[in-house]
Structures are given as structure tokens and as C-alpha cells.
Amino acid sequence: RESDMPSPPADTCDGDVELSAARHQPEGLEELQAHTKFTKKELQSLYRGFKNDCPSGHVDEETFTLIYAQFFPQGDSSAYAHFLFNAFDADGSGALCFEDFVVGLSVLLRGTAQEKLKWAFNLYDINKDGCITKEEMLEIMKSIYDMMGRCTLPAPRDSAPAEHVEQFFQKMDRNGDGVVTYEEFLETCQQDADIMSSMQIFENTI
């Protein structure tokens, strides 16, 4: 908490103020500020929360899944948390550092529509080969339905995820080659209000 920090003497130079705040902020704060849409204060606040939950400064997938499950007690969020973890873990290291977390969060909360769609495409592109198959889309969609659990009324039919994917895929796979490229994904989402509004689920499930 801010109040825990010792107040530096009035004549202290900025460097000493920075030192007294060091435990409350990540390394490379200016760089993070440049790469995200958060202010310095917001980054410090996010960092305190991150270090509180993850004292080591890194989150493995198991911990991420446990933290995420607290937000969706009505369903099983483990599969979606797995996909989400991989989307945040941009360098594929198997652990999220504060930078991974805050860069992804910045896109989801404050990114442009195009930035959010690029992030969503990356989430759906499970094997990261640059295109989405119907199977990949179905895996993500099933994990979202599992996570939403009992809070979805009336309860969706078991076939609902597949129907949802079929409808999406027909619109997105513009050249009918069985895969959706980033360009097809972007173009379809930007032109289709229904798809754009359903993409807001990412903001509700993060």
C-alpha cells in the first residue's frame, strides 16, 4: 500500500524516491508504459497485485488455472484457462512474468478493435501455425461453454458449441479451403456486427 512507503525528505533527489519505491514497481517501468496503455500509477498498482498473488514474479499454468477458477465457480474453466494462459505466454516459456500479463491485459482492456481481434485470433490458433481450423475453433468454443456453466439460461444444448462454430466458420472461411487465415478472420469480424458482439465475450471472461 502507498501509505506503507516511507516519505522521503523534501530535499531527496528523484533517484532516492525511485529506490524507495522499487519494491512497488517492476523493472523497466518506462518501457512497460511505452508498450502498454497503462499509466505509471496503474502499472505500479497492477504490479503490487501481481506480486501479492505471485511472490516469485512468475505464474505457472497450474497457478493461473487455480486463480482463474475463482472467477467462474459455476462452471469448469480449466480448459479455457489453458488456452488463455498460452495466449498470454507470448514467448512460450511456460510461465507468465508481469510483462506477459500486463501486455495482454492492455490489449484486452484498452486495445483497438483490430488489436483485440489479433489477440483473439492468436487464442483460437491453438497450434500457432497462422490459421484456425474448425477443430481449433470448436475446442475453444466448448471450453467457453464449459466455463459459463450453469449461469447460461436456458441451459445450452450439447450441440450448441458445434452449431456456433459451424455458423462462424461458414462466414469466416471465405475461400472455402477449410482454414481461416488472419485476414479472413479480421475482415469477417469487422463486417459482421453479430460476430463482433460475440467477441466481447473475451472482455467478460478475462
CATH classification at residue 182: 1.10.238.10
Q: Is the pLDDT of residue 189 over 80?
A: yes
Residue 194 inside a domain? The answer is yes
pLDDT higher than threshold 70 for residue 128: yes
Residue 139 lies in a domain: yes
pLDDT of residue 71: 85
pLDDT at 192 over 60: yes
Q: Which range marks the domain in which residue 151 is found?
A: 124-205
pLDDT at residue 10 above 70? Answer: no
Q: What is the pLDDT of residue 22?
A: 44
Domain total in the chain = 1
Is residue 72 one of the residues assigned to a domain?
A: no
In a domain, 199, yes or no: yes
Q: How far is CA 47 from CA 32, 86, 94, 194, 200, in A?
A: 11, 21, 20, 36, 26
- Name the residue with cell 465475450: 201
| CA gap 56, 195 in Å, rounded | 39
Cβ atoms < 10 Å from Cβ of 144: 20
Angle at 120 between CA 62 and CA 136, to 5 degrees: 75
- Identify the pLDDT of residue 197: 72
Indicate whether 52 belongs to any domain: no
With a CB cutoff of 8 Å and minimum separation 6, the contacts of 179 are 131, 132, 133, 173
- Answer yes or no: is 136 within a domain: yes
Determine, yes or no, domain membership for 111.
no
Residue pointed to by grid coordinates 449461469: 151
CA torsion 205-98-47-13 (nearest 10°) is -150
pLDDT of residue 85: 95
C-alpha distance from residue 60 to each of 84, 99, 101 (Å): 12, 14, 12
The closest of 162, 179, 54 to 127, measured between CA atoms, is 179
pTM of the model: 0.77
| 14 against 198, higher pLDDT | 198
Q: Residue 91 domain-assigned?
A: no
Is residue 102 a contact partner of residue 38, using CB atoms and an 8 Å limit? yes
